Amino acid sequence: MRAIFIRPGESTGNAGVPCHDLATIALTERDHEQARAITANWVEAPALIVTSPYTRTRQTAAPTIARFPDAPVKTWPIEEFTYLQPAR
């Protein structure tokens, strides 16, 4: 089995846009473009696409999901940085 990890690059949070809920931080247009570029070069359909519940991970995966609509998609409860937000 081979696993490929694609991490969001530039989110609005690390581009200086304030946010009160880490789960809702979105991608910048630059990172949307990067996610589309990765998908454009993808040759083989993934056996499984996994995202976390975070907005930016779902946005990163969206172009791949659109290109390979028959690939199964799962949302796993992967919640990085939860220790920074007591509400989570």
Domain count, the chain: 1
Report the pLDDT value the prediction gives residue 63, as an integer from 0 to 100: 93
Residue 9 inside a domain? The answer is: no
Residue 15 inside a domain? The answer is: no
Q: Which domain holds residue 38?
A: 23-84
C-alpha span between 45 and 84 (Å, rounded): 35
Contact call for residues 58 and 64 (beta carbons, < 8 A): no
List per-residue pLDDT tens for the chain, 88 residues long.
Answer: 777 777 777 676 666 667 667 777 788 888 888 889 988 988 899 999 999 888 888 999 999 999 999 999 999 987 665 555 555 5
Which residues face 51 on adjacent strands? 75
Strands (DSSP E) found in the chain:
49-51, 73-75
Residue 3 inside a domain? The answer is: no
Distances (CA, A) of 81 to 84, 85, 88: 6, 7, 10
Which residues face 27 on adjacent strands? 11
Residue 77 inside a domain? The answer is: yes
Alpha helices by DSSP H, listed for the chain, are 29-40, 55-67
